Structure 1
Amino acid sequence: MAMWIQAQQLQGDALHQMQALYGQHFPIEVRHYLAQWIENQLWDSVELENPGEEVKAKRLLDSLVAELQKKAQVQGGEDGFLLKIKLGHYANQFKSTYDRCPLELVRCIRHILQSEKRLVQDATNASCGTEGQSMDTLSQRHQQINQAFEELRLATQETENELRKIQHSQEYFIIQYQENLRIQAQITSLASLPAAERTQREPALQSKRATVETWLAREASTLQKYRLVNTFLFHLSYFILVTLAYIIISILCLGLSEQHQKTLALLRKQQTLILDEELIQWKRRQQLAGNGGPHEGGLDVLQSWCEKLADLIWQNRQQIRRCEHLTQQLPLPGPMEELLGKLNADITDIISALVTSTFIIEKQPPQVLKTQTKFAATVRLLVGGKLNVHMNPPQVKAIIVSEQQAKALLKNESTHSESSGEILNNNCVMEYHQATGTLSAHFRNMSLKRIKRSDRRGAESVTEEKFTVLFESQFSVGGNELVFHVKTLSLPVVVIVHGSQDNNATATVLWDNAFAEPGYFGLCKQHQAQDMLLSKPNGTFLLRFSDSEIGGITIAWVAENPNKSGCRFNYMCFINVFGLLNANTNQLHYC
């Protein structure tokens, strides 16, 4: 109940976001009248990925329906009569909607409660001023993103208004053009009529023709803004005026295209900020969570940003296509066709990057993977609902690949995904959850049947060999107008066949999670250290784990060679580092 009381005090954009959580799938009246009961239930105890939990979810559904019916029965009075009917209707609606899929009800309510909690916490932090420096930075970054979206919305609306004006002008011009052709044909046909009849009908036709040509001349006068014509052009023939009208529309379309170029630049900047910074940071937090770090957080905010991007990109793409259609109706030689073609290609590249980058792994498979053991994973498309991908539900396939194959895929050196093992139950259809607006595929019963290992060298152990689970699919957007082949790689996994290998495999995973981020170098060989220091000035040093002494740390640095020209590399290895921490200098040795 306390959460709902706080939620009702939200204001502005937070209040609108809270209201948007509710709808036909879960009416806000149910949340209001059953607030205490809803908040007292253990919704988080239900494992949504486990079909065996449907029994528990069914009990929660039946309890919810019973509570609604009970609440309806106690309503009295004139106002209570309408509420009684409404609550009874909601009880029947829940029963018919979720009876066959009670887990969806749990998913819906969990999403609502988590979103409410986040909105209330954000509002509380903002009002009390208890946010730390990191929270202030986060709020400022989110505010900048939202301001950029508002700027993009206004720019898109401006180009939409300009496009409508051009379309209206062109349609009116075509009507006038056809009318003038009809009048011209009638005037020509007067020559075959008797003189008396011709004299009677010709003035009216000439008057109509003059009206049309006056309009064309008036439109031509707008060209003076572009310094393309002089006053004497207003007295030219009808055919020249027609050409001028064509040019007017072409100039307007050219100006519109220039506006679209600016909008596309803003879209690229915003998309880079969201995909290359915010989404990458979320993935990094997800990776560190595998080492026991804090939870990476939900995807609701990221999805809302990605959906706004998708909406704006698609609107601009439709505008560009409409502009292409207008120029095809009135073709003129010039740069328009080439410019619009480039804009269309650019906007398609932008939407392609958005779709392929927002196909992510929401729930990672276990990073220590034992053969013949069931495991689960969840993939999600953050823009699936906005682009209506769910209208043609795509199928996702999971295969396991080696580290070398994964590197080749990341470098686009390999388009064919060859498996390094066999995963059972590795196909899943993506489902759209209307209550949460998410499009995802839940792999619940995958199992690694066999693994194909690479040739190992020296003392390399099987628990040091890394693999990854590759998820791939194909999405159709805009009624099969655009088709995207998407792939995403899981965090590195180590495959084991016996429980005794678990500790060593976990060590490999922990190391990779900690040092896999660009800028970190896990293990550095001596020749690699020398190569990195080769171009550095004197005094530059590098600290690395020794590859010859167990537990040793080697320092390499660059210094002048007193005997010869150039520089020399110096190496010093410290053994028993923990002893150094105790300041025991007797345990210091040189390698």
Structure 2
Amino acid sequence: MAMWIQAQQLQGDALHQMQALYGQHFPIEVRHYLAQWIETQSWDSVELENPGEEAKAKRLLDSLVAELQKKAQVQGGEDGFLLKIKLGHYATQFKSTYDRCPLELVRCIRHILQSEKRLVQDATNASSGTEAQSMDSLSQRHQQINQAFEELRLATQETENELRKLQHSQEYFIIQYQENLRIQAQISSLASLPAAERTQREPALQSKRATMESWLTREASTLQKYRLDLSEQHQKTVALLRKQQTLILDEELIQWKRRQQLAGNGGPHEGGLDVLQSWCEKLADLIWQNRQQIRRCEHLTQQLPLPGPMEELLSKLNTDITDIISALVTSTFIIEKQPPQVLKTQTKFAATVRLLVGGKLNVHMNPPQVKAVIVSEQQAKALLKNESTHSESSGEILNNNCVMEYHQATGTLSAHFRNMSLKRIKRSDRRGAESVTEEKFTVLFESQFSVGGNELVFHVKTLSLPVVVIVHGSQDNNATATVLWDNAFAEPGRVPFIVPDRVLWPQLCEALDMKYKAEMHSTRGLSEENLVFLAQKAFSSTSNNPEDFRNMTISWAQFNRESLPGRNFTFWQWFEGVVELMRKHLKPHWNDGAILGFVNKHQAQDMLMSKPNGTFLLRFSDSEIGGITIAWVAENPNKSGERLVWNLLPYTTKDFSIRSLADRISDLNHLLFLYPDKPKNDVFAKYYTPPLSKAPVDGYVKPQIKQVVPEFTSPNPEPPIFMEQTTSPSVGHSSSFTIYPSMTEAIMDAEGEFDLEDTMDVARHVEELLRRPMANQWGNQQT
């Protein structure tokens, strides 16, 4: 069947070639409906040129005809009527065509299978790229699931037909049994008749009774065999249902949940839930049909008890099928939209839960209510081990009850929590060096409902992805680190919420790249050079070889518990600062390729010294969280003929909220070419702020804010009000601004580092400038 599944996915000319293999000699419908049987037969074992192999070929022909007849018999309903006739016709056709030359049938089928295999292999070799292969694998898996559903549908239809036959046979048996009782009553009544009359009538009645009892004995044995055969068919169907359910719930649904978890780190948005729901609904429908059939068998057995193991067999079947539907219902109560994984108290949040089989089981006829509570990691463990039957809470969630609603258009049954808020949280005792932002909670959603007229009652629960509760925005950075590590490295079926303490560096690189691309809304993620830079930072290494880091591991402590050497922040805090800066202000420049970013001071110097004066690049600050600096090559104004690489003090989010990066670069006339050789206006001009009108507005002249570097500023006959940014011929470590021309030298401490305590808050001064009249350099007052 696997070959036929792949053959059905052929396209274009390959598909036409495959279709041309079939015709009156071997109809394509036979290949489709007997795909599994055909592909499991030993066609290659027959020696076509040996007449002695004709008997083996004849057995294969007879088996093919029998399979067609069997498949035709199980077709029912309006849709199956024509197919039943067609398959029966093909069985007769094969018998008449190949009965005298069965080796030709084998030759025909071998040619078809070999041609299909060649076409599939050619199509596979022609396909290129991992994504195409992944999609092909996905389509194949879905095709297998759909094919299994078709087999289950046919098997269920077959047992339904057999059950009806059994019911009719049993009803006829009961009628005949009643007739036998009537004959016995007649024989008993002969005792009151005269001897002559009794002698005349009794032989005929006794003969009739003997015949009837003989028939009843044979029919009872036949009924018992029908029951056993039907029970075996149900056992096979239940096994297939269990297998199909395992595939959908333990593989497809688990994969969907994993994609949903990775989406929390910026992975592709989870899709395919509607497909999963359609599969789960088909499962629910088939399971329920088979369960009803088994219950009808139990009723027939109770109605006419016969010696044998039927009661035990049916009882076990009923238990098994009920367990299957219970597992289906409880597993398909899922969280469609997860609550935020960094959850701030006193802040509104939302979530959506969904029952994938709710519409099919008519749960919405009596809409259930869902309750949400927040529980700790230990409480979650107890719930999954069934050690806790009631839901203890570790906090108080407002608006935590919601009724499930059925949406007719989409056929979904879901509960939308739109206005929840965590009022308070109860924390547990922390372990070792664990901080509050490493403590994990989860939101538990639970409900109860019944199906089949209260025949089955289900208590369903589902846990959200781990959440970290914070009370202040300053905790967001570290909480996000906990969530990212958990989302990236959690394994399916884990004990809540265990994650490895140490992972391979390439694994973390994958998680960081996923996060970075999601925040940039770009396919341009972290290059191999970028990841080497990050490895150097994480491991305090000087190696430039990516292979040196392939087998290295990084611990959670190195990631976000221990500060980087010589710094007061962790690796993650530095990286997340870069992400925040880029997301808020520099996203288009990154996507344009204008920002190298992950370059250290020495690399920048080596890169720029080989370029013409005025060449510059943008790199992230090593010393400041969320900082970016401009490095450029120029002549040393104090020493003729000497070239230096200069570094501006790093810009931060605060700086770009006042004046954009593009405008700052435009202000600095000594910056000419973006590394390696692009004229800066070609890269940044589209982001420049249009010039302001010089005409007074309501009698006021609006001042301008511009940036200058004193060492690289030419005299201006009409100087506007400037912002000065200090420079360093090596590398700057923090921002220092002042109103030009009050000072021309950098404020530095004894170690040569810029002292943030002595710098001026540019945002505060700009606000003052824009709120009060300004005196110009000639002593005139603006009014």
TM-score, normalized by length of structure 2?
A: 0.46
The Cα offsets for residues 82-105 of structure 1, whole Å up to 9 and x where unpaired, read as: 999999999999999999999999
| Larger deviation, residues 569-578 vs 479-488 | 569-578
Change (3 A) 1:536 1:4: same
| Larger deviation, residues 25-34 vs 510-519 | 25-34
Q: Distance in 2 between matches of 1:28 and 1:414?
A: 57
Matched residue, 1:541: 616
SS in 1 for 2:335: strand
Q: Distance in 1 between matches of 2:97 and 2:775?
A: 64
| Larger deviation, residues 545-554 vs 152-161 | 545-554
| Larger deviation, residues 428-437 vs 105-114 | 105-114
Change (3 A) 1:52 1:203: closer
Q: Distance in 2 between matches of 1:585 and 1:211?
A: 133
- Superposition deviation, residue 374 in structure 1: 1.2
Matched residue, 1:581: 775
The Cα offsets for residues 345-395 of structure 1, whole Å up to 9 and x where unpaired, read as: 111111111111100000111111111111111100101111111122111
1:317/1:344 contact within 8 Å kept: yes
- Superposition deviation, residue 19 in structure 1: 27
Change (3 A) 1:89 1:187: closer
The Cα offsets for residues 10-48 of structure 1, whole Å up to 9 and x where unpaired, read as: 999999999999999999999999999999999999999
- Superposition deviation, residue 407 in structure 1: 2.0
2:98/2:105 contact within 8 Å kept: yes
The Cα offsets for residues 302-342 of structure 1, whole Å up to 9 and x where unpaired, read as: 00100111111111111111111111122234322222111
- Superposition deviation, residue 218 in structure 1: 5.9
1:46/1:56 contact within 8 Å kept: yes
Change (3 A) 1:69 1:302: closer
SS in 2 for 1:132: helix
- Superposition deviation, residue 156 in structure 1: 1.4
Q: Distance in 2 between matches of 1:372 and 1:349?
A: 42
Change (3 A) 1:458 1:199: closer
2:597/2:618 contact within 8 Å kept: no
RCO comparison, higher one (Cα < 8 Å, 6+): 1
Change (3 A) 1:544 1:167: farther
Q: Distance in 2 between matches of 1:70 and 1:159?
A: 13
- Superposition deviation, residue 491 in structure 1: 0.7
2:376/2:440 contact within 8 Å kept: yes
Counting aligned pairs with the same residue, the percent is 94
Pick from 243, 260, 276 the counterpart of residue 269 of structure 1.
243
Consecutive unaligned residues in structure 1, runs of 5 or more: 228-253
Change (3 A) 1:272 1:36: closer
SS in 1 for 2:130: coil
Q: Distance in 2 between matches of 1:293 and 1:153?
A: 37
Pick from 331, 337, 346 the counterpart of residue 372 of structure 1.
346
Q: Distance in 1 between matches of 2:616 and 2:147?
A: 44
The number of equivalent residue pairs is: 557
SS in 2 for 1:572: coil
Q: Distance in 2 between matches of 1:515 and 1:526?
A: 33
1:555/1:573 contact within 8 Å kept: no
| Larger deviation, residues 180-189 vs 215-224 | 215-224
Q: Distance in 1 between matches of 2:779 and 2:117?
A: 54
SS in 2 for 1:506: helix
The Cα offsets for residues 422-458 of structure 1, whole Å up to 9 and x where unpaired, read as: 0011111111112111111111111111100112244
1:552/1:574 contact within 8 Å kept: no
Matched residue, 1:219: 219
Change (3 A) 1:154 1:190: same
Change (3 A) 1:172 1:360: same
Q: Does 2:291 match 1:312?
A: no
Q: Distance in 1 between matches of 2:72 and 2:173?
A: 63
- Superposition deviation, residue 207 in structure 1: 7.5
Change (3 A) 1:266 1:226: closer
1:463/1:508 contact within 8 Å kept: yes
1:555/1:572 contact within 8 Å kept: no
Q: Distance in 1 between matches of 2:174 and 2:203?
A: 24
- Superposition deviation, residue 50 in structure 1: 77
The Cα offsets for residues 519-574 of structure 1, whole Å up to 9 and x where unpaired, read as: 9x9999999999999999999999999999999999999999999999xx999999
| Larger deviation, residues 329-338 vs 218-227 | 218-227
Change (3 A) 1:217 1:409: closer
- Superposition deviation, residue 132 in structure 1: 0.6
| Larger deviation, residues 73-82 vs 437-446 | 73-82
- Superposition deviation, residue 179 in structure 1: 1.7
1:402/1:468 contact within 8 Å kept: yes
Q: Distance in 1 between matches of 2:289 and 2:10?
A: 31
| Shift >4 Å, 4+ stretches | 1-131, 194-211, 220-227, 521-566, 569-578, 580-587
Q: Distance in 2 between matches of 1:531 and 1:105?
A: 76
Matched residue, 2:95: 95
1:111/1:436 contact within 8 Å kept: no
Change (3 A) 1:466 1:24: farther
Q: Does 2:623 match 1:554?
A: no
Change (3 A) 1:336 1:490: same
Change (3 A) 1:302 1:19: farther
| Larger deviation, residues 305-314 vs 81-90 | 81-90
1:125/1:131 contact within 8 Å kept: no
- Superposition deviation, residue 505 in structure 1: 1.4
- Superposition deviation, residue 278 in structure 1: 0.3
Matched residue, 1:406: 380
Matched residue, 1:190: 190
Q: Does 2:363 match 1:426?
A: no
2:170/2:223 contact within 8 Å kept: no
SS in 2 for 1:524: coil
2:438/2:468 contact within 8 Å kept: yes
Matched residue, 1:563: 638
- Superposition deviation, residue 193 in structure 1: 3.7
1:389/1:475 contact within 8 Å kept: yes
- Superposition deviation, residue 276 in structure 1: 0.5
| Larger deviation, residues 1-10 vs 552-561 | 552-561
- Superposition deviation, residue 152 in structure 1: 1.2
1:267/1:309 contact within 8 Å kept: yes
2:294/2:317 contact within 8 Å kept: yes
The Cα offsets for residues 155-208 of structure 1, whole Å up to 9 and x where unpaired, read as: 112222222111111111111111221222123223324567767876885686
SS in 2 for 1:541: strand
Change (3 A) 1:356 1:193: same
Change (3 A) 1:429 1:56: farther
1:558/1:570 contact within 8 Å kept: no
The CA RMSD measured in Å over matched residues stands at 22.7
| Larger deviation, residues 477-486 vs 92-101 | 92-101
Q: Distance in 1 between matches of 2:42 and 2:32?
A: 18
2:169/2:223 contact within 8 Å kept: no
1:554/1:571 contact within 8 Å kept: no
Change (3 A) 1:288 1:176: same
SS in 2 for 1:83: helix
- Superposition deviation, residue 291 in structure 1: 1.0
Q: Distance in 2 between matches of 1:558 and 1:501?
A: 40
2:614/2:672 contact within 8 Å kept: no
1:544/1:553 contact within 8 Å kept: yes
Matched residue, 1:128: 128
| Larger deviation, residues 380-389 vs 178-187 | 178-187
1:49/1:444 contact within 8 Å kept: no
Q: Distance in 1 between matches of 2:73 and 2:222?
A: 71
| Larger deviation, residues 432-441 vs 531-540 | 531-540
Q: Distance in 2 between matches of 1:405 and 1:123?
A: 52
Q: Distance in 2 between matches of 1:544 and 1:526?
A: 9
Change (3 A) 1:74 1:220: closer
| Larger deviation, residues 543-552 vs 163-172 | 543-552
Q: Distance in 2 between matches of 1:308 and 1:491?
A: 28
Q: Distance in 2 between matches of 1:298 and 1:32?
A: 27
Change (3 A) 1:167 1:439: same
- Superposition deviation, residue 153 in structure 1: 1.3
